[in-house]
Amino acid sequence: RTVTVRRNNVTLNDIFISIKTSKVFHQSRVVHIVKTWFNLVKDQTYIFTDGDDDQLNHTTHGHMINTRCGEGRTRPNLGCKMGSEFDAFLASGRKWWCRFDDDNYVNPARLLQLVNRFNWWSDVYIGRLSVPFFAARYHGKWRRYKFAHGGAGCCISRSLGKRMEPWGGRKSLPRLQNITSINDDAALGFIITAILKVNISLSDQLHSHYERLADLNPSTFSEQVSFSYSKQNTINTDHKKFKSKSFSRQQDPTRFYSLHCLLYPAADICQ
């Protein structure tokens, strides 16, 4: 008797990548993404924002989407934005949705390997666990749920995305958030783990600025899927690996350029 092992073999073209941002961050954050990793996945990556910006829309070849969800960091605005990313994923027909914040660096090659450990036709939710135990009141009952921290990025398979449709869109996600009083990334986790009863698949290759990024060992950078930064918290690039092309702190406060040139030395910005 032979056992047939079905293989995924998805390519980067099968992944819909979304980045959540706000007009106030186009100059300070999105610019670093557009100059680095965005160039490796231009065709499948879209930037979801809340205002018009002709220049950004031009440099991204029309991949900037003004969600018109409203400016300002309110729960309904952010939920509408996340819901717009979700709607665009379903409409794209792609097999995976991987979404990130505008302070994430993503290594596309590793992202592809990460999703290829799973099947897109199964219900899959990959992420870094946010503080482990949460509960929210929903239809009169307290429900426990888990969620992938939005600041590290997460991926959702097409099969799971389809099942999330009644709650995940730009109208329905803010409604669910209103009922449960939870944030957008937590709301995705609530739909998946509390309503649909699908488990989260944990990855330690996804990183947000809620961990001490300087503790990440530079010799493992090439294995990581996502990175992040905040003012006082960046990856450590004071390492001999970075000697070939170095950017000063002033030139590269996020360390994204140094990282990009370590991982992809042939990129334009590294010459």
Catalytic positions, written as ranges: 185
266: left (phi over 0), alpha (psi -120 to 50) or beta: alpha
Q: Which one among 25, 116, 129, 143 touches ligand UDP, defined by CB under 6 A?
A: 25
Cα–Cα distances (Å) from 82 to 156, 159, 240, in that order, read 13, 18, 39
Residue 184 is a binding residue for Mn ion (CB under 5 A): no
Q: Which does 169 bind (CB under 5 to 8 A by kind): Mn ion, ligand UDP, none?
A: none
**Token pair for residue 244?**
């070939």
Size of the site for ligand UDP (CB under 6 A): 12
Q: How distant is the alpha carbon of residue 146 from its chain centre? A: 17
Instruction: Kindly identify the residues of this chain, within the stretch 93-122, that bind Mn ion according to CB under 5 A.
Output: 103
Nearest to 203 by CA among 164, 148, 122: 148
Q: How distant is the alpha carbon of residue 259 from its chain centre? A: 18
Instruction: Kindly identify the residues of this chain, within the stretch 201-220, that bind ligand UDP according to CB under 6 A.
Output: none
Task: Count Cβ atoms within 10 A of the Cβ of residue 154 and give its class: 0-12 exposed, 13-18 middle, 19 or more buried.
Answer: buried
Q: Which does 184 bind (CB under 5 to 8 A by kind): Mn ion, ligand UDP, none?
A: none
For 258, the enclosing helix (H) or strand (E) is: helix 256-263
User: By C-beta, is 103 or 252 nearer to Mn ion?
Assistant: 103
At residue 261, the 3 state secondary structure works out as: helix
Residue 252 is a binding residue for Mn ion (CB under 5 A): no
Task: Count Cβ atoms within 10 A of the Cβ of residue 75 and give its class: 0-12 exposed, 13-18 middle, 19 or more buried.
Answer: middle
Please give the biggest Cα pair distance in the chain.
63
Q: Which does 102 bind (CB under 5 to 8 A by kind): ligand UDP, Mn ion, none?
A: ligand UDP
Identify which range of 1-9, 19-27, 86-94, 106-114 contacts ligand UDP by CB under 6 A: 19-27
User: By C-beta, is 26 or 95 nearer to ligand UDP?
Assistant: 26
User: By C-beta, is 29 or 158 nearer to ligand UDP?
Assistant: 29
Instruction: Kindly identify the residues of this chain, within the stretch 48-87, that bind ligand UDP according to CB under 6 A.
Output: 72-73, 78, 81
203 with 126: CB under 8 angstroms?
A: yes
Question: How far is it, in rounded angstroms, from Cα 142 to Cα 182?
Answer: 13
x/- site string to ligand UDP, residues 123 to 152, per CB under 6 A?
Answer: ----------------------------x-
Minimum distance between the CB of residue 64 and ligand UDP, rounded to whole angstroms? 13
User: By C-beta, is 102 or 123 nearer to ligand UDP?
Assistant: 102
Residue 185 is a binding residue for Mn ion (CB under 5 A): no
| List of residues contacting ligand UDP (CB under 6 A) | 20-22, 25, 72-73, 78, 81, 101-103, 151
